């Protein structure tokens, strides 16, 4: 999957601080079907480490992490 394929859902967590982006991402990805992709937009400096660690532990895949300047864009594919 490329970073240009449309995600199944988008979570705008810009302006939220740890641990809120992680909690909201967990809830949003649980609502998806396995294989679908969640797009998360976050500007919290801890978001990359938190979301990467969460995805690995939960069996999800980080498809892409893109630096958009003021925030980062994460694409997370839901695991089984």
> What's the pTM value of the predicted model, to 2 decimals?
0.92
What per-residue confidence (pLDDT) applies to 3? 56
Whether residue 56 is predicted with pLDDT greater than 90 in this model: the reply is yes
Residue 1 domain flag: no
Residues 6+ apart with CB under 8 A from 2: 64
Whether residue 19 is predicted with pLDDT greater than 90 in this model: the reply is yes
SS3 41: strand
Q: Which two tokens stand for residue 10?
A: 């988008």
What per-residue confidence (pLDDT) applies to 4? 63
The H or E element that residue 37 is part of is strand 37-42
**Number of structural domains found in the chain:** 1
Fill in the DSSP letter of residue 18.
T
pLDDT band at 39 (very low <50, low <70, confident <90, very high): very high
CATH of residue 35's domain is 3.30.110.40
The residue from 8, 14, 16, 18 that is catalytic is 18
d(CA 79, CA 75): 13
18 catalytic residue (yes or no): yes
Parent domain of 69 = 9-77
């Amino acid at each position: 999957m490329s970073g240009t394929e449309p995600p199944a859902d988008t979570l705008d967590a810009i302006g939220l601080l740890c641990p809120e982006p992680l909690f909201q991402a967990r809830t949003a990805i649980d609502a998806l079907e396995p294989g679908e992709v969640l797009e998360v937009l976050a500007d919290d400096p801890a978001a990359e480490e938190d979301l990467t660690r969460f995805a690995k532990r939960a069996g999800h895949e980080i498809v892409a992490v893109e630096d958009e300047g003021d925030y980062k864009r994460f694409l997370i594919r839901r695991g089984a």
